[in-house]
Amino acid sequence: MTRFPAVILSLLILALSVYSTTGFPVEELLEQQRHKTIELKELLVSREIRMEALQQF
C-alpha cells in the first residue's frame, strides 16, 4: 500500500508539468487525474482480491 500514494503523487506531478508546458486548464487535468487515481485504486483492489483468492487454494 505504500506504493499507491507514491503513484498518485507522481501522476499529479506529471499532470502539473503537462499543464505548465501545454497550457491545459487545471480543472481538466485534475479531473483526468481523479479518473486515473480511481482506475489505479480499482486495479489495486482487484489485484489484492485475486491474491487472497489464490492464497486460499
User: 4 versus 47: which is more confidently predicted?
Assistant: 47
| Residue 22, H or E segment | helix 3-22
Q: What pLDDT is stored for residue 18 in this prediction?
A: 76
Confidence of residue 2 (pLDDT cuts 50, 70, 90): low
Q: CA 20, CA 44: separation in Å to the nearest integer?
A: 30
Which cell numbers in the block locate residue 17? 508539468
Q: What pLDDT is stored for residue 42 in this prediction?
A: 92
pLDDT digits (tens, 9 = 90+) for 6-53: 888 888 888 888 777 776 677 787 888 899 999 999 999 999 999 998
Q: CA 1, CA 29: separation in Å to the nearest integer?
A: 25
Burial 4-40 (b: 16+ CB within 10 A, else e): eeeeeeeeeeebeeeeeeeeeeeeebeeebeebeeee
